[in-house]
């Protein structure tokens, strides 16, 4: 199906997102288009959130998620907040229900502009994360980087928030670690047959964490919503914090924290900002795009 579609360049705490409107069409954003868009500095991104017509009754849209290397992603919390802001601006509505390959996501825009996304329930079973080896307790698995007697990183918590995560606990600022070096090795470690998101997490108080993430299929990212959820759940699960925490994402340019609430019903709710940057049109097959002209601002 030929022709360009509307898209917006947005971000969630600096997590670079392209929201592509594929409603009314039967084709999809191709891997080739994703790779081409990521190759251009103007459209370089962490995830594409492609909005499709709903497949299930009671949902507002099906969201197809692509990483910048053209691979599929199951979940993207920061990207979902961007979708909510885009649709809320278009429709005036405040609540939405989306379907992804990871399941159903309910989301709401608040009066202060922040957006909450119910990311669903965490998964701890080793074969559903998945891991290559059986672990009865996945809150601390056997995996390390560095010398065996003095590892740099070790014993991560493993879980799934719709996508696999490994959380390494560190005693100092996550920015002090060479995650750009360790990230690719850990993402592709044989322990993770579907690869994994790798997060360094530091406990800064009984209700706050500081994190930095190497994102599966995207690399060193400014922010990752599902990783923040995984870190918060893992912290509460291991007794490091309570079930509601603020996450200071070390690389986020605004340094506005995410609030993660692991509710008693086992659902994980993430609340944070989303920001529109600019919009344009894109060919979902090739990635060729044009940018909308900015409206002229006239002096009074």
Active-site annotation, residues: 76, 224
Helix axis angle, 77-91 to 225-237, nearest 10°: 130
CA 267/CA 272 separation, integer angstroms: 17
Angle at 193 between CA 203 and CA 260, to 5 degrees: 30
Nearest in space to 167 (alpha carbons), one of 246, 230, 114, 91: 230
In this structure, the strands spanning 47-52 and 15-21 are parallel
Report the helix count and the strand count for the chain, using DSSP H and E: 4, 20
List of residues 6+ apart from 71 with CB closer than 8 A = 31, 217
Neighbours of 240 (CB within 10 A): 17
Find out whether 252 and 14 touch, Cβ atoms under 8 Å: yes
CA 242/CA 233 separation, integer angstroms: 9
For residue 83 the two structure tokens come to 């979708």
Which parts of 79-225 are beta strand (E)? 95-100, 103-109, 115-118, 144-145, 153-154, 157-160, 164-169, 197-205, 208-215, 219-220
Measured CA to CA in angstroms, residue 167 lies from 186, 187, 271 at distances of 11, 12, 20
CA 242, 275, 7, 223 dihedral sign is: negative
């Amino acid at each position: 199906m030929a022709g360009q579609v509307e898209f917006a360049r947005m971000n969630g705490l600096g997590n670079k997102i392209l929201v592509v409107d594929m409603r009314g069409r039967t084709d999809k954003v191709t891997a080739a288009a994703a790779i081409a868009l990521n190759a251009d500095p103007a459209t370089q991104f962490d995830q594409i959130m492609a909005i499709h017509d709903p497949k299930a009754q009671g949902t507002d849209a099906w969201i197809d998620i692509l990483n910048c290397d053209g691979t599929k992603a199951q979940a993207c919390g920061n990207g979902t907040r961007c979708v909510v802001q885009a649709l809320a601006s278009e429709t005036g509505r405040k609540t939405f229900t989306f379907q992804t390959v990871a399941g159903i996501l309910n989301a709401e825009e608040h009066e202060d502009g922040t957006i909450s996304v119910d990311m669903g329930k965490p998964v701890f079973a080793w074969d559903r994360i998945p891991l290559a080896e059986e672990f009865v307790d996945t809150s601390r698995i056997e995996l390390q980087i560095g010398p065996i007697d003095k590892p740099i990183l070790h014993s991560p918590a493993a879980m799934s928030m719709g996508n696999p995560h490994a959380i390494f606990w560190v005693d100092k600022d996550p920015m002090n670690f060479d995650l750009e070096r360790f990230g690719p090795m850990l993402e592709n470690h044989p322990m993770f047959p579907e690869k994994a998101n790798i997060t360094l997490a530091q406990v800064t108080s009984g209700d706050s964490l500081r994190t930095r993430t190497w994102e599966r299929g995207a690399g060193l990212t400014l922010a990752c919503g599902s990783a923040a959820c995984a870190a918060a759940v893992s912290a509460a699960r291991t007794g490091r914090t309570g079930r509601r925490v603020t996450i200071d994402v070390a690389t986020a340019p605004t340094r506005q924290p995410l609030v993660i609430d692991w509710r008693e019903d086992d659902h994980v709710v993430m609340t944070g900002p989303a920001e529109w940057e600019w919009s344009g049109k894109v060919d979902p097959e090739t990635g060729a795009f044009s940018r909308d002209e900015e409206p002229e601002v006239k002096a009074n």
